[in-house]
Structure formats: structure tokens, C-alpha cells
Amino acid sequence: MIKPTIEEILTSKPEARPRIYAYAIADAAHAGLLKVGQTTRDVKQRVAEQLKTAAITNYIIELDEAAERYDGGIITDHAVRDALKRKGFANPMLEWVQCTVADVKNVLAELRTGKRFTGTHHETFPPREEQAAAVEQTYTYYHSRWQQDANAVPRFLWNAKMRFGKTFTTYQLAKKLGAKRVLVLTFKPAVEDAWQSDLESHVDFDGWQYLNSGRDPSQVDDDKPVVYFGSFQDMLGRDKAGNIKAKNEWLHAVNWDLVVFDEYHFGAWRDTAKELFEGEDLAVAKKETSLEYAADLEDVNEDLAVLSESEAEFLPITTRAYLYLSGTPFKALATGEFIEEQIFNWTYTDEQRAKAEFTDNNPGKRNPYAALPQMRLLTYQIPPEITHIASAGEFDEFDLNAFFAANGTGILAQFKHKDEVQKWLNVIRNAPEAPRSLDSLKTGIIPPWPYSDTRLLPHLQHSFWFLPNVAACHAMANLLAERHNTFWHDYKVIVAAGTSAGIGLEALPPVRQAVGSGFDTKTITLSCGKLTTGVTVAQWSSILMLRNLKSPETYFQAAFRVQSPWSIKNPNGDNPNEEEILKPVCFVFDFAPTRALRQLSEYGIGLSPGEPNPENAVRELISFLPVLAYDGANMTQIDAGGILDIAMAGTSATLLARKWESALLVNVDNATLGRVLNDPDAMAAVGRIEGWRALGDNIIETIINKSDKVKELKQKAQAGELTAKETKELSDEEKEYKSKRKLVQEKLIKFATRIPAFMYLTDFRENTLQDVITKIEPDLFLTVTGLTVADFHLLVRLKVFNTERMNEAVFAFRRYEDSSLRYTGIESHEGLTHYGLYDTVVARESP
């Protein structure tokens, strides 16, 4: 792919305005009929062009109205005619309807309010190539397992980003399997609408039945396929006696053909949901978090970061197969829960690559990926005059949470550093009074600040500002509204934070009302967690990251809110292959460059678990997500190496040591420990780790057994059957197995800290963990770490060590080592391929 220029990255935004029109022809053949159409051009010109070839001049344009819903969606002429037909108006000729102008206006009014007609089964689009591939790959794997064992219950994972079309594709898989009973369970109940609308709108599923907890299962036609949608919160709920809810008993009696776990990244959701809403009021945060993941799961099993192989135990249901759906299954990939043949991947880079290649390979056809915007990340170094009040820590990084710290709520909320935040507002619109860095003054270069550059401004017509907490959201709204901030008065500011904004999706209607069609309005949505998952506001084209986030999953989960497509299909009503793209690109603006690029690099590495070299993984991502960085003097595009350098900026021996002391480097869940326990060579290997024998005999078996015992006692507690003695036993057992698991974790981490010591001494240049295993000196490795190369290779293969995290740590060490050498004037790579620090220094000191 050709690398885009800065000018191409800062592309202009196209303009288009859809209209619905209706005209009549004054002759006997068209008496009482109206032609209903749509266009993004001038209606008079469009109608004149249509009728010119037939030399028709006796026409009257009866209606010319905006084709926009109140929620910002687009109304098509097809939808208008369908609605008229449902009301009983005849449609004797293509695009002509026997009705009055008032009838058309009434239908438009209904469609604008978002009134939804279900069960029409009018969609006819075929699966896209990648959707068909997912179905075929999964179907083939299921059957291969059933051929080996007729009673097998195979499991398969779809690692697919949003906009993949998981609901539609899942139903296609169910259809190919001949499934009659499909159970969809989710950790995130808010996704239900898509599951219902896809089933009830596409012709491929005509006759299928949709059920949820609000519908009576006794009304199901046994001869037709049925899909039941439910949440884990509901499925795991018990009555006061500890029994399965009466309304759910039938679910446990059905032999399901396919069980689908939607939003399957429970461990990630649990952590990211808490991170997303940590800025909310405590009561609100708890409610918001409960909407994002099943709170009842907290006490089911401490090891249940992934369901592992305990679905039957976890949910007492029977099925022929399981399907898992997730956009960020990093934990499941890292722990080896699914092997390569059990995974279908469709990532952001896959999507954007398909978009780029489709037109070349399919000339003349409508590109089904065209409306999916490409993301661009722009990071800015803010002048020191502003950042000094919030730069702290070991490496003096700009702290967004400290900078936007605020007190109070509502109209009383104010920033602690109000003067500096005001200066920041001036900077991002390049106001004359805005401070500038010394380097910028010297070079005379003005960077493309978001709210000043004419190429960027159109993309900020509707933006999302992600702030640290409720107080900061209110404080920002108050500051933007102050009399002197006249520039910002053009924007309608919506505070989607705190109790007043509502819980979950309740915060969405005020945003959609303010945005409207998106053409004549300008909005800024302020949030500290709400509306960052599971919502679509098509007109959002940019997000300003104004808070610290710990995980790349959380960061990009929020960022992808602005990647929703905004387009008009068949804009002029005469070409179904034509599509007017209103948002070809979208932007992420970040003002803490090091943190932003660290998130980007970690996300790129997480997207490519099979890529051993982190630099290659990041290079793959930014080929479709270009990055511009302003360093105070120049705005430049950064390559993968530069991103990793900046992401590791400030890296010291201390920070590297912390990387190798992280609990994320090792896996000590029951599934991993079970794999070790069942492998005699692995048991012998861990036994050679320093201090392991001091943990006592059968430590792994003890942890697993006690974990199982705790799970059993918790189930009894849930059913209200626990005695006083067992209650104390539960507490004691839980404390003991957690303590022993912690000891095992500490021993494995202690071993991991020996790896950088070995890397420092070895003659080889290590980029990845695989390099450590395959390019090492066996005797030196044994001396430094206490394990043989074969021992280490085996433990890595069993996923005792998190390969992706270790790759990051290995790569960080190598880059630090190289940069340290360059600082002293030594280029470790020049003319060298397998030399380390020791050899390089010796070579330079030799006469």
C-alpha cells in the first residue's frame, strides 16, 4: 500500500444533502399518481433531467423535503414507498404510488420519528466475502470434530471488530448448520436490537422466530427455527430459594443446536467497564458497569476470565456447538484457549485492506466497505507553559487526568487549573492569544490544530470529548459557555455524564436530538464513560482523548465510536450501486503523545498474536491507521519504529525491570495449570525453577482441587444450602488457594526476571521470545535461568508465559540496549547480525 502524504491524511470532508421529492404529471396515464424519488442534488434540476428525454414538461414538483430522520439517519425513497404500500396505497408502476402529497408527508413524519417496522424481511444483500469465509471455516471445523467424535461439542472464536456483521453472519452459520434451536447469550444486553432486527429484516431468515425473556416460549412453532436472546445476568439469576428462575427452566431442558456467546471478552469487559466508568459518580458507575457486564459472574469462579472448557459446568445447558464472538479477545488469544484452527480473524486492518483492494479487483461494482471510514491519529505536544502544572511521574509525562481535574457539579463545576485549560482551548483553535512553544516561534510553523485547520474543521462538526470524570465534563461545559468563549458558542454542548444524563442508552436521545440530521448543526458531546460502547452516532467524526486510559482495549473501544459509517446509498434514486460517502475518514486527537502511541503499539501487537515481531505488527496497523505527531516544532508522519521509540520514551533500566516483574507475563489460571499438571516433562521443568520445591509437594494439584472445592461451595451458597461450618470452610479454602496461586505466580515471575539478564550476556540480538528460545546459548541460558532451552520452550508452548507480553518486553529491552549504544556512538547493527552488547563493546575496545 502506498504511504499517504500529510495532505492526504488531512483530507477535506465531502458535502452532500439528501432530499426526498415527489412530482406529478398532468395526464391521464398518471392521474392520482406521485413519483417518489431521492437525490443529493438540486431537486428541480434532477427532475428536469429525468423528464427531458421524454420531452415531458407538464409536471409539478409537489414535495421537496430533507431525507433525514430525527436520530440522524437517512430516509430512502425505497423506505417511503414501502411504508405507503404497507398503508394500502397502490404501486402500479415502478417508483409511482397512488397517493396524495399529504400521505407522503405523513409517512415521512413517521419515518423521522424512528418508528420501526419489523418482520418485513425486505433485505436481500448477500454475505460479504469475509462473512462467507467465517461461516465456511467454522462449519468445516465443527464437522471435522464431529467426524472424529460424534459426541464432541466443538468451540470456535470469531475475533471480529465492530461492523463485521456478527449477527447476520451468525445466522448464516446457523442456517448452513441446519440449526433449529439457537441460543444467544451476551455479557452486554444492550446489543439485543441488532440480533432481532437482522433476523426479522433479511429474506434469508423468513419464517424464523425470535424470542427473549419477554416472550412466551409456549407460542413457538416447533417446525420453524427459533433464536432465543438472553443475558448472563438473567440466565445465572436465581430465585430466593436458590433455584433457576421458573421462566428460564425451559431453556435448560432444550437441546440447543448452537449456543453463541456474544461480546465474549468477559475479563476485558470487566476491567474496561470499570475503567470506563471510574470517573462517574459511584452509584452511577455501578449501574453503568452492570449494563456492560454480568455482575453476577463476579462470584462464579475467580478463574473465569475466560470460560475455558467449563461451559457445561458454568451453564447447565446442552448444545451441539459453541460460537464465541468478540472484537477484543486478547486474553483468550494470549492464554491459548483457542488454537489457530479454532479462530477466524477480521480486524481493523483486514477491513481497511479489503476496502482498498475491492475497487481494484471489482471495477464497476459498489464497494461494500466504502462507507467504513479510515481512522487517523493526530498527537500534539502542548506548549510547556500549559503542561507544566500536570507533568509528573518518573518520566515527567503530561497527565491528562491532573490537567483536567475539576470540582463541583452542574453550573458550580470548575477546573482546578482553569487558566491553563482556557489556554488549551485557545491553542486547539490557534487563537491569536494562544501560547506557542519556543521551537514553533523559531520555525514559524503552525501545526494543523483541530479547531483551526480548514481541512480538519469539517470533521469536528460533531465530536466526542472523552474527559476524566463528571466534574470535568460539567466544568468544560461551563467554560465553553462563558461569554468570552464566543468561538465555542456555535457548538451545542451535550453533557453525557452523571446522574442527570441518565443510565446507559438513556444518555443517547439528547445527543441525537442535538445532532439531528448533522448537516445544519454543530455539537460537542462531553462524556467520561457513557456512550463509549454499543452506540452509533453516525455523524461523530472525531474524538478528543482528554483522559488517561490504562488498556488499549478501552482506548480503541472508545475511539471506534467515531468509525461508524455515514453514507447515502443510491443517493439519486437511479443507481443501486452508487453510494454517497459522507464520512470517508475519522480522527482521533490526543494531547499526551507518549501515552497515545503506547496504546497504539500495544493494540497493534494485540491484533497480531501470530506476529512474533512487534515492529511488524505495528507497521501493519499504521498502514491503515496513519499517525501524525506534532513535537512542538513540526508535524510529521511517524513510522512503526518511530512509534515504538516514542511509546518507549523515557524507558530506563528501572522501567524495563518493571516490565519483567509484571503479573501479566505469566498465566496461572486453572486451565494453564491443568496443562502443566498433565504433562510430566512440564512438571519436571517447573520443579527446576528456583524456590519451587519450597512451595511443597503437589502445589498445582492442590490449587486446582481447592479452586474446585470453592466453586462447589459457592454454588451451594447460591442455592442457600451452605451450613455455618461450610461457610467458614469456604472462606478458609478461598484464602488458601488464592495464597498458593499467588506464590506460584511469584516464582514464575522471578524466573522471568532472569531472561533480561541472560539477554544482556548473550552474543545474539533478540527481537522476540522466539529468538530467545531458538538463538540462544544453551549452557549460558541454563546457568542464568536454571532451566534448559527445552524446558523453557515447553512452558512457552503450554502458555505458562504470555507470549505477546514477553515479546513486548524482549523488544523493549533490545531497543533500549540499541539506543543506549547509539548514545555512546556505537551502532550495534552496523555490519552485525548476531552480536550483543558484550561483543560490540569488546570489538570497539580491540586494537
Nearest-CA neighbor of 523 among 2, 33, 72, 64? Answer: 72
Q: Are 796 and 753 in contact (CB under 8 A)?
A: no
For residue 103, pLDDT over 80 is answered with: yes
pLDDT at position 265: 55
pLDDT of residue 220: 80
* 300 pLDDT tier (thresholds 50, 70, 90): very low
CB atoms under 10 Å from CB of 308, counted, come to: 20
In this predicted structure, what is the pLDDT of residue 134? 97
For range 287-304, the mean pLDDT: 44
What pLDDT score does 172 carry? 96
Stretch(es) of the chain classified as CATH 3.40.50.300 = 370-650
Nearest 10 degrees: Cα torsion 227, 232, 237, 242: 100
pLDDT for 656 equals 47
Domain 370-650 - what CATH class? alpha beta
Selected residue with higher pLDDT from 656 and 257: 257
The predicted structure's pLDDT at residue 237 = 59
Q: Give the pLDDT score at 650.
A: 47
The mean-pLDDT minimum among 211-225, 233-247, 571-585 falls in 233-247
What local confidence, expressed as pLDDT, does residue 245 receive? 67
Residue labelled with grid coordinates 500534539: 380
* Range 762-776 average pLDDT: 56
The correct CATH number of 129-346 out of 1.10.1660, 3.30.450, 1.10.3470, 3.40.50 is: 3.40.50
**Between 745 and 466, residue with greater pLDDT:** 466
829 has a pLDDT exceeding 90: no
| Strand, coil or helix: 22 | strand
Cα 662 from Cα 648, distance rounded (Å): 16
Would you state the pLDDT for residue 648?
61
In the chain, % of residues over pLDDT 70: 73
pLDDT at 131: 96
Residue ranges with strand state E in 187-299 = 209-211, 226-231, 255-256, 258-262
Q: Looking at the predicted structure, is the pLDDT value of residue 504 above 50?
A: yes
- pLDDT greater than 70 at residue 811: no
What is the CB neighbour count within 10 angstroms for residue 483? 6
In this prediction, residue 269 carries a pLDDT of 47
Q: Residue 426's pLDDT band (boundaries 50, 70, 90)?
A: very high
- Please answer whether residues 517 and 66 qualify as being in contact, where contact means their C-beta atoms are separated by less than 8 angstroms: yes
Residue owning grid cell 509528573: 392
Name the pLDDT band for 203 (thresholds 50, 70, 90).
confident
Cα diameter, the chain: 105
pLDDT the model gives residue 280: 58
* Burial group, residue 184, by CB count within 10 angstroms (0-12, 13-18, 19+): buried
Check residues 245 and 319 and name the one with the higher pLDDT. Answer: 319
**Predicted pLDDT at 293:** 46
Query: Higher confidence at residue 299 or residue 455?
Result: 455
Angstrom distance (rounded) from CA 327 to CA 333: 12
pLDDT tens track for 719-763: 667 777 777 777 787 788 788 888 888 888 887 777 766 665 555
Rounded to the nearest integer, the mean pLDDT of the chain is 78
pLDDT value at residue 214: 67
Confidence of residue 768 (pLDDT cuts 50, 70, 90): low
Q: State the average pLDDT over residues 262-286.
A: 56
pLDDT at 498: 85
pLDDT at 486 over 90: yes
**C-alpha pair distances (Å), 670 with each of 296, 664, 749, 796, 803:** 20, 15, 17, 16, 18
Confidence class of residue 34 from pLDDT cuts 50, 70 and 90? very high
pLDDT above 90 coverage of the chain, percent: 24
118 compared with 161, residue with greater pLDDT: 161
Q: Who has greater pLDDT, 641 or 508?
A: 508
The arithmetic mean of pLDDT across residues 475-499, rounded, is 95
pLDDT of residue 673: 86
**Residue 36 to residues 20, 73, 91: CA-CA distances in angstroms?**
7, 19, 11
Are 537 and 515 in contact by the 8 Å Cβ rule? The answer is yes
- CB distance 44 to 68 below 8 Å: no
**Does the pLDDT at position 241 exceed 90?**
no
Radius of gyration in angstroms for the set of CA atoms belonging to the chain, rounded to a whole number: 30
Helices (H), 293-437: 311-314, 330-334, 348-361, 384-387, 400-403, 418-428
Q: Is the pLDDT of residue 599 over 50?
A: yes
114 near 70, Cβ under 8 Å? yes
pLDDT average, residue stretch 92-104: 88
The answer to whether 368 touches 358, Cβ cutoff 8 Å, is yes
pLDDT category at 190 given cuts 50, 70, 90 is low
Q: Are 621 and 600 in contact (CB under 8 A)?
A: yes
Average pLDDT over residues 582-608: 87
- Residue 80: what pLDDT? 92
More reliable by pLDDT, 132 or 365: 132
**How many Cβ atoms sit within 10 Å of the Cβ of residue 118?**
11
Q: What angle do CA 153, 157, 161 make, to 5 degrees?
A: 155
Write out 627-668 in H/E/C secondary structure: EEEECCCCEEECCHHHHHHHHCCCCCHHHHHHHCCCHHHECC
The pTM assigned to this predicted structure is 0.69
Which of 22-26, 168-172, 291-295, 702-706 has the largest mean confidence?
168-172
pLDDT at res. 310: 43
